[in-house]
């Protein structure tokens, strides 16, 4: 029986076999990899992944789709978690985890922040996202796309946009273009975990009104002597600060 795509679950199924192969080649799954797919849907990526792997974990919210997957795949090869990926404990799967998925666009930012918490357990991630979201993720300072998402994710991950996927590769076709992004957790410790909360608050405050100067937006955090010590001009805006400068500010405040 055909499955009626559900808008509320962001269901745009990949139907172009060339794009599927390009994604699988980018992931390069190898026997023995610990891999989890978020939102397997009708299995466009699941099936070719299982050609290279003996086993795969998937997290899928839609019960009807889970039923279909149970009918098609054996428990030995596919472990299915029915539920919301935003609440899933990815740390419980083990370490050196690889995560992949053609992510539902309506939850893309929250899922990236959720996965950031498990960066220590993660080897790499390959996701299909809305092209504009990927542009914001990989944006450099002093460009229009650079914002909170860029700083928070670039702090934790090295990221690379791999290729663009046009709407006609999906059923139903989404209104926007998509892009594949590779994310690899950074291993160097840039600041103590205790200071990461300060970092997140400074970044949020700085970008809360992106047209305003840092002197205004970070009034509650940085004093003139802090700007001098950090060698940051307080007349700049959040979009002008590098990730390293945000880290330095958080480290100074944490002292």
Nearer to ligand SAM, 11 or 154 (CB): 11
> Looking at beta carbons, which residue is closest to ligand SAM?
39
At its nearest, how many Å lie between ligand SAM and the CB of residue 249? Answer: 34
Residue in the structure block whose two tokens are 């009104």: 209
Interface with ligand SAM by CB under 6 A: which range of 70-78, 79-87, 151-159, 187-195? 79-87
At its nearest, how many Å lie between ligand SAM and the CB of residue 252? Answer: 38
Interface with ligand SAM by CB under 6 A: which range of 84-92, 149-157, 198-206, 230-238? 84-92
List Cβ neighbours of 9 (8 Å cut-off, separation of 6 or more): 39, 61, 62, 104
Q: Is 104 in the site for ligand SAM (CB under 6 A)?
A: yes
Residues in the chain, total = 255
Nearer to ligand SAM, 171 or 219 (CB): 171
Residues in region 15-74 near ligand SAM by CB under 6 A: 38-42, 44-45, 59-62, 65
Nearer to ligand SAM, 20 or 122 (CB): 20
At its nearest, how many Å lie between ligand SAM and the CB of residue 119? Answer: 19
Cβ-count burial of 15 within 10 angstroms (0-12 exposed, 13-18 middle, 19+ buried)? middle
Q: Which structure tokens are listed for 144?
A: 């229009």
Interface with ligand SAM by CB under 6 A: which range of 3-11, 142-150, 209-217, 244-252? 3-11
Q: What is the DSSP string of 79-133?
A: EEEES-GGG--GGGG-SSEEEEEE--GGGHHHHHHHHHTTGGGEEEEEEEEEHHH
Nearer to ligand SAM, 102 or 154 (CB): 102
Q: Measuring CA to CA, which residue among 15, 8, 2, 10 is closest to residue 169?
A: 15
Neighbours of 69 (CB within 10 A): 20
List Cβ neighbours of 50 (8 Å cut-off, separation of 6 or more): 56, 73, 77, 78
Residues in region 206-245 near ligand SAM by CB under 6 A: none
Query: What SS3 class is residue 67?
Result: helix
Given candidates 27, 80, 93, 107, which one binds ligand SAM under the rule CB under 6 A?
A: 107
* Total chain residues near ligand SAM (CB under 6 A): 24
At its nearest, how many Å lie between ligand SAM and the CB of residue 37? Answer: 7
Structure-derived torsion over alpha carbons of residues 37, 159, 95, 63, reported in degrees to the nearest 10: -20
Q: Which residues of the chain form contacts with ligand SAM (CB under 6 A)?
A: 9-14, 38-42, 44-45, 59-62, 65, 84-86, 102, 104, 107
């Amino acid at each position: 029986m055909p499955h009626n795509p559900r808008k509320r679950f962001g269901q745009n199924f990949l139907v172009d076999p060339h794009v599927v192969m390009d994604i699988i080649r980018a992931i390069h799954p190898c026997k023995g990899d610990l891999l989890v797919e978020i939102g397997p849907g009708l299995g466009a990526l699941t099936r070719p992944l299982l050609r290279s792997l003996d086993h795969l974990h998937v997290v899928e919210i839609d019960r009807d789709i889970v039923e279909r997957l149970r009918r098609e795949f054996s428990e030995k090869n596919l472990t299915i978690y029915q539920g919301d990926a935003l609440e899933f404990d990815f740390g419980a799967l083990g370490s050196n985890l690889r995560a992949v998925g053609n992510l539902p666009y309506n939850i893309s930012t929250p899922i990236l922040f959720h996965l950031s918490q498990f960066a220590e357990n993660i080897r790499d991630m390959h996701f299909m996202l809305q092209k504009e979201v990927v542009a914001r993720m990989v944006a450099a300072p002093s460009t229009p796309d650079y914002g909170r998402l860029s700083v928070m994710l670039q702090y934790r991950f090295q990221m690379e946009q791999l290729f663009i996927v046009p709407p006609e590769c999906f059923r139903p076709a989404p209104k926007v273009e998509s892009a594949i992004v590779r994310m690899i957790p950074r291993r160097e410790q840039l600041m103590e975990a205790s200071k990461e909360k300060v970092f997140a608050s400074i970044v949020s405050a700085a970008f809360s009104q992106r047209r305003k100067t840092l002197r205004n937006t970070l009034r509650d955090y940085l004093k003139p002597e802090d700007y001098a010590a950090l060698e940051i001009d307080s007349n700049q805006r959040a979009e002008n600060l590098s990730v390293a400068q945000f880290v330095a500010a958080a480290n100074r405040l944490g002292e």
